[in-house]
Chain A
Amino acid sequence: MTTDSTSSGTPEDINPHLELDITKKRRQIDIVKKFREEKLFAFGIIVVFLSIFLAFFGPSIAPIDPTLATGDVSFPPPPLADWPGLLWQVMTTDMENPPHWFGTDSSGLDIFSRTIAAPRTDMSIALLAALVSLVVGTVLGLLAGYYKNIWTEILMRTSDLMQAFPVFITAMILVALSGRNTANIIFALGLVYTPIFIRLTRAEVLSQKTRGYVEAARAVGNREWVVAFRHVLPNSVVPSLIQTSTTIGFAILLTAGLSFVGAGVRPPTPEWGLMIAQGSNNIVHGEWWESVFPGIAISLTVFGYATVGHGLEEDYR
């Protein structure tokens, strides 16, 4: 008897092309569809792209040098009614003194320029710190989940201990004691966020390890480390990748929070948390604009990353 006859006439084969259509559909990127259909997710994606764009080009497109004090000290932003006229002026004439859209601070720095230049600092810290913790955490998590020995046991105990540390205070210690600069903040945040990724990856590896395809990969004749890195790892990174989006958001908050309490980057670096901190001294006197605009920037950016993280998580489930 031939194998053809075994499958003919079964319901499975009523429409042999049905399944192939699904294969084709997969080739369209799901994110595009999601972007069109879900407003919150679309908002998040726009925020992600805009924040990365500003990280690269923010300082260059700022109309006024963000670290250069102008003569205008504590200037309020122009009333909204004047904005169209001012915009028209900026576009048509070559103004010697461009308007301070968001006003100036008590040192005469232009807040609009500083707000769009800040992602250079905030975003590079957040993105690189998240990347460091993702890579280190995933590899350590894979090892800890896949191999059970004294070293991975020590690794997990250490990771547990690190999670018992208060994140904010640990980050403060790491940054303040190693020097308040961008590289050290990246290192510090990378370190405090690594245990999350170790945990996530390890948990996923532990559950993937019991799956049949791992056993099958072994039975086919793969070496153990090939099974770990080629089969288990790619199937275990998705939760971590999703977590990355959320972690980037938290890293932005932490970066700003450190500057706010005086343990982050030094002035006059344009940085959102620092700007809010400087404005906080004057806000009770009614100079609200110094803190409001960078705060809105943080609020929207972190929310954007959170919606992307949430959207991806929902799809994954």
Chain B
Amino acid sequence: MAIDEMTAPAGDTGSARPIMKVENLSVVFPRPDASDITAVHDFSLSVTEGEFIGIMGEPGCGKSTAAMAMLGLVRPPGRIATGTVEFLGQDLGKLDEEELRAIRGKDIGMIVQNPRHSLHPMIRVGTQISNVYRAHNDVSKQEAWEHSIEMLRMVGINDPERRVKAYAHELSSGMAQRVLIAIALSSQPKLLIADEPTSGLDVTIQAQFLDEMWDNVQKTRSSVVLVTQDLGIVANYCDRVVIMHQGTIVEVAEVHDFFNSPQHEYSKAILGLQRRAQEKGVAIAKVDEKAPPLLRIEDLTMHFPIRASKSKVHAAEQVSFEIKPGECLGLVGESGSGKTTVGRCLLRLEEPTSGSINFHDVDLASVSREEFRKNRANMQIVFQDPLDSLNPRWTIKQVLEEPLKLHSDMDQEQRLDRIRELLKLVGLEESFVQALPKEISAGRQQRVSIARAIASNPDFIVLDEPTSALTPETTAEIIELLIDLSNKLGIAYLFISHDLTTVKFICHRVVVMYLGQIVEIGTKDQVFETPRHPYAKALLSAHLFPDVANRRVDREVRESLQGEIPSPITENLPKGCYLFGRCPSQVEKCRNMPQELTELEDGRLVRCWRVQEGELTD
């Protein structure tokens, strides 16, 4: 069988001994009133010492279930139907519950997604770490407690003596993730199974973790099985990749082979955009540089008051930029950067604290809400979660009809014609008009959202993370659709995203934000090729582009930021440069010196005095 051949260890790790061998594993979930669902079907995989394996696939393809089943665990009411798992020569299926237990958490460590929900909500994290440690080591309570503090210190948690007494809800998800890593590493496992360990984490934090995990593998010759749906992680860290689709493995390949010559149709689809861009050159049309700007925002500031407190959330601070007709401006940043707030303020979904929004030479920030409502025909938005942004009880026809009823005086017949036209524009069949949102796939839902946005012929659309809830292959399709629509209809976009890979495909210019401030604005090439601001540099370096020719683990210096992003509330904000404390290039002067956004000779704007003074080059 083809898959068996593919599961054989790849060349460079051939001499190493196998740690785990999984054969024909199947997991079924019984349903009370229907036939059982087979979540994992005939899953076979062997893991060798020192290997970093990625299991990839769309949500619901069974990858997480398969990873759990390697430990002999299934979420109730599911069960393992067939298959054997051999770990260090032992058949796990033949062990009794106690022997299995002794292996779990000791020789095989587990890191799961959703770290805060994976810790018991009512037990101190220190007790939880101690409990696991004591389950595998014969130590006293006191020793285990001290060990927990040591482990927390090791995974880089500040003030572990205090944090060890915290409860899960008191930790940020980054910190909770570190606790899980501390638990997983505390018994020095030979195999680490990590199920989307960085989902929900920001890219700079994600890089810190994955680097740590990779270094650990190198140091101890242990192995990692990493479940993910991020091509970037796979390309940058994994030695081998397993592609799953609908419960089955469709391809197992060495990582370079996978990216360079995927075999299975589904693998090709995942890598769609990259490949098509290379072959055909997918791109958005050039913009007329001399045209007057379509939209110009100045000093847009948004502060959210905090209940029962004097401090505020500084979501956006004096944000200014402009967008030309037909231009696509990328707005990037991590959580708390204020990028989404800026987009929402533009559409007055939030009322900005101050600043002006000039659109077609009218200041939209100062008109009445009723006045603004009429303007909505010209300015639209596409949201992140496609299913969530469609009324669950409305058919596609009703969804698309609403803007037409509001902004035009078409009759019934004309509206139907327009709906057909819109569906065609976004690449949907006419037969979908009677479907409900939940009955169509996520990609199609997002197409409907886009159709709704262009229904009233706007000349500007805010795209608020339009692809981050989608699988890689759907992301590629949506990006291509957006490029196509802009070229056909001349719509300008504000493309808000944390995913630099997609930004790179679609945007003309890029704005980088950090803690509510713009730190750099430049053309796509300027920002992506030679970022100048230290934060922009770190962000670019930490972002995992799906490019196997330039893997992060192969780099000599893996640039990254220290610590975590502070939440942008008044008392947390540094007095001087907002990056102070995390910046690799900081000097004492940065501590108290507020930074100005200033234009450099090449036309870009940067908020860093050292760059402006020419102290930081390259």
Contact = CB atoms under 8 A, between A and B. Distances in A.
A–B interface present (Cβ within 8 A): yes
A212 interface: yes
19 contacts: A3-B481, A4-B427, A6-B477, A11-B266, A11-B473, A12-B474, A20-B431, A213-B388, A215-B349, A215-B389, A216-B390, A219-B376, A220-B380, A221-B373, A221-B377, A222-B402, A222-B406, A231-B391, A234-B393
A23 B439 contact: yes
B440 interface: yes
Which secondary structure dominates chain A's binding surface? Answer: helix
Contacts of A19: 435, 439-441, 444
Nearest to B403: A220
Contact of A1 (B385, B390, B480): B480
A45 to B, nearest CB: 17
Contacts of B347: 219
Interface string B393-427: 10000000011001100000000000000001111
B245 interface: yes
A28 interface: no
A43 B280 CA distance: 64
B449 A11 contact: no
A31 B381 CA distance: 38
Contact of B477 (A7, A220, A234): A7
A23 B434 contact: yes
B383 interface: yes
A26 to B, nearest CB: 7
A188 B427 CA distance: 57
B358 to A, nearest CB: 20
Interface in A1-36: 1-4, 6-7, 9-12, 16, 19-20, 22-23, 26
A218 B424 CA distance: 25
B280 A9 contact: no
B141 interface: no
Q: How large is the interface on B (under 10, 10 to 19, 20 to 34, 35 or more residues)?
A: 35 or more
A216 B449 contact: yes
Contact of A221 (B374, B384, B390, B426): B374
Given A12-B443, A221-B377, A3 B484 contact: yes
- 3 tightest A-B CB contacts, nearest first: A212-B389, A3-B427, A221-B376
A82 interface: no
Nearest to A232: B391
Interface string B431-459: 10011100111011000010010001000
Given A19-B444, A221-B456, 20 more contacts: A3-B424, A3-B425, A7-B477, A10-B269, A11-B269, A12-B441, A12-B444, A19-B439, A23-B434, A23-B435, A23-B436, A23-B439, A212-B383, A215-B349, A215-B389, A216-B452, A219-B347, A220-B406, A221-B373, A221-B403
B388 A212 contact: yes
Interface string B262-290: 00011001001000000010100000000
Contacts of A212: 383-385, 388-390
B75 to A, nearest CB: 17
Contacts of A11: 245, 265-266, 269, 473
B601 interface: no
Interface string A66-94: 00000000000000000000000000000
B113 to A, nearest CB: 22
Nearest to A221: B376
A235 B391 CA distance: 8
Nearest to B58: A11
Nearest to A38: B33
Nearest to B455: A220
B429 interface: yes
B2 to A, nearest CB: 19
B392 interface: yes
A10 B477 CA distance: 9
Contact of B426 (A3, A10, A26): A3
Contacts of B429: 16
A52 to B, nearest CB: 27
Contact of A217 (B391, B431, B449, B480): B391
Contact of B473 (A2, A10, A211, A222): A10
A6 B480 contact: yes
Nearest to A217: B391
A213 B393 CA distance: 11
